[in-house]
A and B are shown apart, each in its own frame.
Chain A
Amino acid sequence: MKIAVLSRQQAIERVGYSLGLDGRVLNGELSPELIGQALRRAASILAPCSRYELERSVRQTLQPLGSPGDVLDLMVQEVLESLIVHRDLLEMRSTAEEAWASADMMIRPAAPSFVKREDGSIAVLGTAGDVITPIPEDLPARLVHSGALRLLVPTSGEPLARRLKEFGLIELTEKAWLRLPRVEPAGKYVEEWHRRLRDAPIGSRPEGLLICKPTRRGMIYRDRWTPAAVEETGLFVARRPQRFGADLWCLVDLQPNSAARILDLFSTGDTLRPCDVAWQIQMALDERAGLAQAFRCRSNGVRSMIDFFSPIPSWAERRLLLVGRRQTGPGYLYSYEMATTAADSERRFLCESLWMVEQN
């Protein structure tokens, strides 16, 4: 046995290899691809587990590898969010059989699967127990890590999708992967949720309730969230605290005298996350109030960037991922870069499905 004392950079390289990455190209830094692989592996070990358990476990094992300037907490959170958006990991309600579950919403790995993208590349999703990326033995060397997304690019005429299917991966159709809700007017969408809310009993407002206030142009998303004032009434997307774990997403009808009807948000079969439902309701509420949320499109000729200032549901992000890649930068929450030829249909999609408007 060879026992060796490692520097931080050497340790990152070796951890990278153990996680199925080329350790040398990590340059001794904790990158999204390394964190993504660490999260996938940890999810296979811990699942079903709560989001905070997964984050904390990975953070603690990576902490000794971080340099003083690293914001490891934030990196782990962001990469985990991306994995959930990609449906590499699934965030679902715990079931009655999961008696050991520690929270209402649990993370579990998606089944080993893949989805074809517009540019011909293939996104590999899910994990399988001890095998973080279950693909044929010759393919790991060809994996391209785009952030936390794992992509395979077929060579000309290569029947890559067929090989993956024969190997045992599930091919997800675009429809099955995106899980796009039907297109409908904002008013109708809000009314449907309002109808469900009216069936909820009236009770007192829970302590620590945060509501999302109507937007103003240029307002930062996180500034829209404020504690519900006693005199506040009306329909709001809200978050109510629980003793452990993240606040729950809900729809509230605030009534005088601190009364309220509250409806926790989720979708049938957990095909949508509660936050996805909440963000869509908020977009519909904003549009109905004449303050539709905006996106911005920038183009440099062949490439276009669509910038967002508030979060959009994960199904909309997945659709954008089919044609582009996500990036962050100053002046917006995040942006999707794509071929300009693809941008037109995506802009139309955002206007129709999320009632957004394009900002000049």
Chain B
Amino acid sequence: MLASAQSDLERHFSALASARVGHDFPVYAFEHGLASAELAALRSELEAQLREVQRPLPEYWLLWSVIAAEVGYSYDGDEYWQSFSLEVPSWRFYGDRNIIRDWFRMFANRFSGFSPRGRWADHFSIISWPITHSILPRYLQAHFAAHLHDMRYDLAQHGDLGIAQLGSLIQLRYYGGSARFRDFLQQTELTARLVLALRDEDIQGGVSPVFRSTLGRIVGDLEGHQAVRHQLREARKVLREARFRSNQSLFGRPVVAPNGESRDSKYDRVARAKLMARATSDGAWRIGIAIPDFTDILRGEGFQFSVLDNTRIRFANDDGRWMPGRALLSYSRQYRPISALTHAGMAFLEIDGADARLRALLQPFFKLQGSFPLLLKIYEDGTARQVHGNHVRAERRYVIVTSDPLPGDTIAKLELKQVVSPVVGVVAYELGTPAVLTERHFQALKQLSFGYGLRACVEPVGLLPRRSGESNSTWLPSEEVILRLSADFAVSEFVVVVNDEPAVHIEDAGDSDALVSFGTLPIGVHVVQVIAVAKAADLRLEPEQLFLQVRSPEPWLESARKQAGVKLVMEPVNASLQDLLTGKGKISALGPRGRVARIDAFIRDAHGCDPTPMTLGNVDLPVDSDAMDRVLQKLDSDTVMGRVESAVCIDIDLSADELGHDRLSFHQEVQPLRWKLEHRDGSLLGRLVDEAGADQAVVVRRYDLCSPDRYVAVKVDDCYAGVSVPAAGALFVARHRGQRYAVVFGLRERVTSLADLGARVDFDVTGHTTERAVAMLLVHYRRWHGARALGPLSSVHRSKVLSAFELQLARILCRKNWADRANACLTLQGLQQSNQFDLLQREVGGSPGFAIAVSDKALECNDVRDIEHHFVDKAQAYRVSSDATISAMAVALALCPAEVRFDNWARGQEMLRALIANPTLLRGAYLAKLAKDIGRSPGEGRVARQSI
């Protein structure tokens, strides 16, 4: 049976490959066309044969490839080979992973089959074959349908792109959180062909990128879930309509090129920042800026948002406070009042830390267009928006914004009314133009460099436009644009020109008034020009020009989150969940005072489906970071931590009924080599999962809790099978190709202090120079610090070991006696603690002012970078150290030793030597840490004692 199945499949795949010659459609093993009963029979025959001959036979290589692709299609996204063993139980004993890769390579050669590419395929060098050959694994199908739905209009617009470009677009436009789906999207050719196959499934004849019965099976599975079904159907409908339109010649141009080509200048004009003004209840005009959509600008040039992580921004002429670069995304499409405005380039934003390409992209969007005086037209929503070209029209209301008071005769001629504006450097006037402008108006307008034109009047009808400035509005592909064309004079016809299309003449305009539909427009910027042709021959008329930007609708869940009346705020913005649980990151919650909100955690597996939420608590809004800390600590409990550590994603959700909810998602990367903690036969075993095809090229070492800087070598085969973990726990580190895959396993033994970790935590630093000892401790510290924690109490164990390392470092750097007393100070209370702190502070050395200043400042600072900045300043001011690098290193050693690295050991040794020779500097840094840890400054202590 196996032999005939093998030859049948060979014929099938050969025929498929022949049919696709010249189409650039590779063949996938999943396109076998077998029914489920045939597959089941095949699987059971292969299992029997494997059990019998104890190795997979090469004559059935194609059958094994098909079964492997089937497993890739149905596995749960967690562990491929375990799923494989469930389907073919003897595989565990007689299987050979490498041979599967060889057979898929043979498949690719023989049948013009698909070859996986990209970073993910390199890391998961074996399983990437069967998984990609399954075309669209079931566990990723909901992600795919949602992404396709979100991108439907963009894909429709770019339907005529080549395969590679289309796949890149699909990859670039994914902003969701699933790391696995992001990995899958690296197979750009596969995803592009899948999209085309889904679009063109209804076309009979021709060659499909995916075998029809296989596509039918995937679609059937996709449609198995109601929500997914509707997303898929809606997306396919839009794609097919676009295909139909495309055949009739698409018009409109893409807003942005998917491959990062230079953008359309029309787009830049629409996207730039505009000045706005809004009347306040006391009659003044508040002036602000409509901030551009930086998400769109970055996406358009193919930047990931993480490019902002190393930058910071601030509003010019404002309070000068720097904010993390990602704040740009929050400010996108928002209005922001300004407190001052100057001529100097009209710049309102500054960026620091951006590379040249990013800076060049963003800089033009950081300033306003035009120069003083600026003309703003008052619109139907009461907001005044900047007029491009400074052209005035009859019977309109405007606000003029300028830097100096206007001349008296201009004010008189235009009957301007000065209005109050709280913006420094700005004088504002209201202008109401009459129905007929006279020579005196023209003169005054000319003095202001404003133009005047008699034009058609064009107003949107029925749907309020999303305005981003005069003449610029934004629409969705589902919204029909209807404009009312009218004029203040008798009109014989209107002439309408859209983009470069032939002009359309509208002759029968009734009473100089016509409702004109432009239909639903494709994504892009469309330029509409309307010319009113006057009956009177002597009227000089100017065309009216509108820029209609059509964009994809924003996914509604994202919009709902943005508009919610409650907000979660995290600092730093890229903090990990671990950072939050260890106090290195903070979350607070905003919302109406007096309302109660609920905080839930969603702990997600690879499928990403909504699990049952774990309610962390109800809180009174607003919630400060301390209160949030208390709520989040529930995630750090013994019972939950294991689930958290093995989860693919954890969402923290804040909700308050009709006010909506906000959510922070913490994604955890899937490593090709990873550790698991498993219950087997009543005991807990640590097991190494190898999906990298690493096999014997892996070295595993174990570090015990009581001797955390010494290792025991462990056999890698034992790790694949599962090794027992010593009581209390241990650190296991697997090394492969220079990468480290580390985990701290914790068992059930409770650890409350360092002493519980063993008789004594013993460090082996003898026989080394002080600098060498410090460097070695730092290497070990980083190893423990970077390890994942798995199992009950594992994070507690890890943090206790880290504390032991920190204490050991402090003893070397600050002298044992001082370091031990500083450590003991943490556990003291009240006056005792204050006295001890004072004593330690006096023993820092150098000027007493230095110790007071650094600890005071540390308490005020929110992050290490701030502390470092002040510490360097104070060290210089008090002549403790004039070397900023050395001072910064002292802070890093005290506050974040994991970040201290010596790429150049000779230089590192030199720096450490200089540091060790300056105990005042080191103790100052450790005192700053102590002040931060105990949350009080010496000043507070003195006040407390005086009041007793």
Is A62 engaged at the interface, CB distance under 8 Å to the other chain? yes
The listed residue (B336, B517, B658) touching A177 by CB distance below 8 A is: B658
In the assembled complex, the CB of B233 is this many whole angstroms from the nearest CB of chain A, namely 7
Bound CA span A128–B517, Å: 26
Of the candidate stretches A89-97, A143-151, A336-344, the one touching chain B is A89-97
Proximity string of chain B (494-515) to chain A, C-beta cutoff 8 Å, 1 when within and 0 when not: 0010100100101010000011
Closest to A42 in B: B464
Is B682 engaged at the interface, CB distance under 8 Å to the other chain? no
Question: Contact between A5 and B462 (Cβ–Cβ < 8 Å)?
Answer: no
Which chain A residues (93-116) contact chain B, with CB distance < 8 Å?
93, 95, 97, 99-100, 102-104, 108-113
Is A351 engaged at the interface, CB distance under 8 Å to the other chain? no
Question: Contact between B335 and A100 (Cβ–Cβ < 8 Å)?
Answer: yes
Bound CA span A87–B565, Å: 13
Question: Contact between A128 and B480 (Cβ–Cβ < 8 Å)?
Answer: no
Is A41 engaged at the interface, CB distance under 8 Å to the other chain? yes
Question: Contact between B592 and A270 (Cβ–Cβ < 8 Å)?
Answer: yes
Bound CA span A102–B335, Å: 12
Is B356 engaged at the interface, CB distance under 8 Å to the other chain? no
Is A126 engaged at the interface, CB distance under 8 Å to the other chain? yes
Which chain A residues (266-285) contact chain B, with CB distance < 8 Å?
268-271
Question: Contact between B592 and A269 (Cβ–Cβ < 8 Å)?
Answer: yes
Question: Contact between B554 and A170 (Cβ–Cβ < 8 Å)?
Answer: no
Bound CA span A297–B232, Å: 51
Proximity string of chain A (113-145) to chain B, C-beta cutoff 8 Å, 1 when within and 0 when not: 100000000000110111100101110000000
In the assembled complex, the CB of A62 is this many whole angstroms from the nearest CB of chain B, namely 7
In the assembled complex, the CB of B43 is this many whole angstroms from the nearest CB of chain A, namely 34
Question: Contact between B554 and A11 (Cβ–Cβ < 8 Å)?
Answer: no
Question: Contact between B658 and A172 (Cβ–Cβ < 8 Å)?
Answer: yes
| Residue of A3, A97, A134, A244 with most chain B CB atoms under a 10 A cut-off | A3
Is A44 engaged at the interface, CB distance under 8 Å to the other chain? yes
Bound CA span A18–B477, Å: 10
Question: Contact between A92 and B515 (Cβ–Cβ < 8 Å)?
Answer: no
Is B640 engaged at the interface, CB distance under 8 Å to the other chain? no
Question: Contact between A243 and B515 (Cβ–Cβ < 8 Å)?
Answer: no
Q: Which residues of B contact A71 (CB under 8 A)?
A: none
Is B227 engaged at the interface, CB distance under 8 Å to the other chain? yes
In the assembled complex, the CB of B770 is this many whole angstroms from the nearest CB of chain A, namely 52
Is B124 engaged at the interface, CB distance under 8 Å to the other chain? no
The listed residue (B484, B515, B660) touching A111 by CB distance below 8 A is: B660
Of the candidate stretches B127-135, B253-261, B555-563, the one touching chain A is B555-563
Closest to B513 in A: A64
Q: Which residues of A contact B558 (CB under 8 A)?
A: 129
Is B38 engaged at the interface, CB distance under 8 Å to the other chain? no
- With A47-B563, A130-B556, A131-B553 as known contacts, state yes or no: A87 contacts B288, CB within 8 Å: no
In the assembled complex, the CB of B548 is this many whole angstroms from the nearest CB of chain A, namely 11
The listed residue (A103, A163, A270) touching B281 by CB distance below 8 A is: A103
Bound CA span A128–B506, Å: 38
Closest to B494 in A: A5
Is B22 engaged at the interface, CB distance under 8 Å to the other chain? no
- With A100-B337, A244-B279 as known contacts, state yes or no: A61 contacts B461, CB within 8 Å: yes
The listed residue (A97, A130, A243) touching B553 by CB distance below 8 A is: A130
Q: Which residues of A contact B336 (CB under 8 A)?
A: 99-100
Question: Contact between B515 and A64 (Cβ–Cβ < 8 Å)?
Answer: yes
Question: Contact between B556 and A56 (Cβ–Cβ < 8 Å)?
Answer: no
In the assembled complex, the CB of B553 is this many whole angstroms from the nearest CB of chain A, namely 4
Bound CA span A165–B768, Å: 63
The listed residue (A1, A11, A111) touching B501 by CB distance below 8 A is: A1
Proximity string of chain A (1-24) to chain B, C-beta cutoff 8 Å, 1 when within and 0 when not: 111111110111011011100000
Is B903 engaged at the interface, CB distance under 8 Å to the other chain? no
Bound CA span A230–B231, Å: 66
- With A1-B498, A12-B462, A100-B335 as known contacts, state yes or no: A244 contacts B556, CB within 8 Å: no
The listed residue (B383, B461, B517, B565) touching A90 by CB distance below 8 A is: B565
Is A226 engaged at the interface, CB distance under 8 Å to the other chain? no
Chain B interface bracket (under 10, 10 to 19, 20 to 34, 35 or more): 35 or more
Is A45 engaged at the interface, CB distance under 8 Å to the other chain? yes
The listed residue (A2, A7, A168) touching B557 by CB distance below 8 A is: A168
Bound CA span A226–B818, Å: 78
Question: Contact between A136 and B230 (Cβ–Cβ < 8 Å)?
Answer: yes
Bound CA span A142–B557, Å: 22
Proximity string of chain B (188-231) to chain A, C-beta cutoff 8 Å, 1 when within and 0 when not: 00000000000000000000000000000000000000110011
Question: Contact between A129 and B659 (Cβ–Cβ < 8 Å)?
Answer: no
Proximity string of chain A (306-326) to chain B, C-beta cutoff 8 Å, 1 when within and 0 when not: 000000000000000000000
Is A58 engaged at the interface, CB distance under 8 Å to the other chain? yes
Closest to B288 in A: A100
- With A3-B498, A18-B480, A92-B592 as known contacts, state yes or no: A136 contacts B226, CB within 8 Å: yes
Is B626 engaged at the interface, CB distance under 8 Å to the other chain? no
In the assembled complex, the CB of A233 is this many whole angstroms from the nearest CB of chain B, namely 30
| Residue of B464, B516, B564, B658 with most chain A CB atoms under a 10 A cut-off | B658
Bound CA span A99–B565, Å: 15
Bound CA span A132–B482, Å: 19
Q: Which residues of A contact B479 (CB under 8 A)?
A: 18
Which chain A residues (147-176) contact chain B, with CB distance < 8 Å?
163, 166-168, 170, 172, 176
Bound CA span A127–B66, Å: 47
Closest to B380 in A: A60
Proximity string of chain B (587-606) to chain A, C-beta cutoff 8 Å, 1 when within and 0 when not: 00010111100000000000
Question: Contact between B463 and A243 (Cβ–Cβ < 8 Å)?
Answer: no
Q: Which residues of B contact A166 (CB under 8 A)?
A: 227, 610
Which chain B residues (676-695) contact chain A, with CB distance < 8 Å?
none
Bound CA span A56–B466, Å: 15
Is B105 engaged at the interface, CB distance under 8 Å to the other chain? no
In the assembled complex, the CB of B377 is this many whole angstroms from the nearest CB of chain A, namely 14
Is A227 engaged at the interface, CB distance under 8 Å to the other chain? no
Bound CA span A87–B234, Å: 29
- With A102-B382, A268-B593, A269-B595 as known contacts, state yes or no: A5 contacts B281, CB within 8 Å: no
Question: Contact between B380 and A57 (Cβ–Cβ < 8 Å)?
Answer: yes
Question: Contact between A56 and B380 (Cβ–Cβ < 8 Å)?
Answer: yes
Bound CA span A137–B230, Å: 5
- With A112-B556, A176-B658, A243-B281 as known contacts, state yes or no: A44 contacts B563, CB within 8 Å: yes
In the assembled complex, the CB of B255 is this many whole angstroms from the nearest CB of chain A, namely 16
Bound CA span A269–B515, Å: 45
Is B476 engaged at the interface, CB distance under 8 Å to the other chain? yes
Q: Which residues of A contact B231 (CB under 8 A)?
A: 137
Question: Contact between B463 and A15 (Cβ–Cβ < 8 Å)?
Answer: yes
Bound CA span A62–B554, Å: 25
Q: Which residues of A contact B381 (CB under 8 A)?
A: 46, 49, 53, 56-57
- With A3-B518, A130-B559 as known contacts, state yes or no: A41 contacts B593, CB within 8 Å: no
Is B407 engaged at the interface, CB distance under 8 Å to the other chain? no
Bound CA span A61–B463, Å: 6
Question: Contact between A163 and B462 (Cβ–Cβ < 8 Å)?
Answer: no
Is B612 engaged at the interface, CB distance under 8 Å to the other chain? no
Question: Contact between B463 and A19 (Cβ–Cβ < 8 Å)?
Answer: yes
Q: Which residues of A contact B279 (CB under 8 A)?
A: 102, 244
Question: Contact between B515 and A7 (Cβ–Cβ < 8 Å)?
Answer: yes
Contacts A61-B380, A110-B660, A111-B658 aside, 8 further interface pairs with beta carbons under 8 A come to A52-B382, A90-B658, A97-B590, A110-B658, A128-B563, A130-B556, A134-B560, A168-B556
**A residues adjacent to B (C-beta < 8 A):** 1-8, 10-12, 14-15, 17-19, 38, 41-42, 44-47, 49, 52-53, 56-58, 60-62, 64-65, 87, 90, 92-93, 95, 97, 99-100, 102-104, 108-113, 125-126, 128-131, 134, 136-138, 163, 166-168, 170, 172, 176-177, 242-245, 268-271
- Would you mind naming 30 contact pairs between A and B with Cβ atoms under 8 Å apart? A3-B504, A3-B516, A4-B519, A5-B515, A11-B462, A44-B563, A56-B382, A64-B484, A65-B462, A90-B565, A93-B592, A100-B286, A102-B279, A111-B560, A112-B556, A113-B657, A129-B553, A129-B554, A130-B553, A130-B554, A131-B556, A131-B559, A136-B226, A136-B227, A167-B227, A168-B560, A172-B658, A244-B279, A268-B593, A270-B595
Name the 4 nearest CB pairs between A and B, nearest first.
A129-B559, A111-B660, A15-B462, A268-B594
